[in-house]
Copies of this chain bind each other. A is one copy, B any other.
Amino acid sequence: MVLAAVLTAPNRPIELQELPEPVLEKGGLILQTIYSEVCGTDVHLLRGHLGGVPYPIIPGHFSVGRVVDIGGKVLNLDGQPIQIGSIVTFLDVNETCNSCWYCLVAKTSTRCPQRKVYGVTYSSNEGLLGGWSELIYLKPGVKVLTLPEEVTPARFIAGGCSLPTGLHAIDRAQIQIGDVVVVQGCGPVGLSVAILALLSGAGRVIVIDKYESRLAVAKSFGVDDAIAIDDQAPQQHIERVLELTDGRGADVTIEATGVPIAVKQGIAMTRDGGRYVVVGHYTNTGEILLNPHLEINLKHIEIRGTWGIDFSHFYRMIQLLKRHRDQNREIAWERVISRFYRLEEINQALADVEQGLVLKAAIQPNLF
């Protein structure tokens, strides 16, 4: 039997359950889980904020593990067969169908209606299809990558799902060398976006958050300015951005907060003709008032939503973790992980994430 953490219904504590071992199909893989991320989305799952979730589920949509069994031959991207014992990761979106209008004609695969996500859209009745479990079963067709030696599992999980999500947002932002970039929110996604904006040649990166501790982390990664939101003076951070930008606002602003009013504020912080990327609203937290004349038409702005990731972001994330590990270019993603939790501590982990006590948490279901 396999020990797994199961969320049986919204707002219920996670239960540890003993589930049957997976039956290996041709093309499938069985992983012994090394780490699985605890993400803000998992809090939304706990609170029942997402529609269409087939509770009970095994959460954990971003994971890394060691291959313990293979159903025949499964290939890496380079055409080489994956080996037992290898440390591999997999794209959480395993069934972008490559057969529908969105995948083939619109080429917007992150909106494929058949899209499935491990740890979110599979029931635990269907198998070990989430990362908070001793074993993970990779169904045939799930896209697998062997982790390069230079990238430790801890480094990979520290990047987490927020790093490829940030990459997608940065691609949408089309930063030119010298652009002033504001990042709203310094959680895992915002921090990834800020680091990637620096890497893209931004002329100034300004981050905004309400937690001083998160701003301090961002400063330690090299952002130029870290602005704390003052609840007593809710316009003050907007004014500060305008001061820093000759009164014009940023060339590019990227929202990574999940707070509706941040969208209105972010537009106010962006210059006429600038770009505004929304990547933080992965769940419905309400509406805002917008003025189409002042905030869209006259402003000549572009507002771009960014949903999900595809394989290219996942692949490039790993390349990035590999590149920026050495002395001259080091980006110390490992520091983003506040704590590793055992499977038995999962409710504590979720509570810590919900209360903002940790920047990023990971589950370590097996002892290595």
Binding site for B on A (CB under 8 A): 75, 77-79, 98-102, 104-108, 110-111, 143, 167, 170-171, 176-178, 196, 199-201, 203-204, 222, 246, 248, 251, 255, 260, 263, 271-273, 278-294, 296-308, 310-312, 315-316, 319-320, 323, 328-329
Contact = CB atoms under 8 A, between A and B. Distances in A.
A187 to B, nearest CB: 15
A167 B177 contact: yes
Given A200-B201, A284-B294, A178 B320 contact: yes
B296 A104 contact: no
A319 B101 CA distance: 13
A243 to B, nearest CB: 15
A288 B285 contact: no
Contacts of A105: 77, 311-312, 315-316
Given A301-B305, A305-B297, A77 B99 contact: yes
B287 A106 contact: no
Contacts of A200: 177, 200-201
A9 to B, nearest CB: 23
Contacts of A260: 291-292
Contacts of A279: 297
Contacts of A273: 102, 106, 108, 111
Nearest to A91: B104
A178 to B, nearest CB: 4
A273 B103 CA distance: 11
Contacts of A288: 289-292
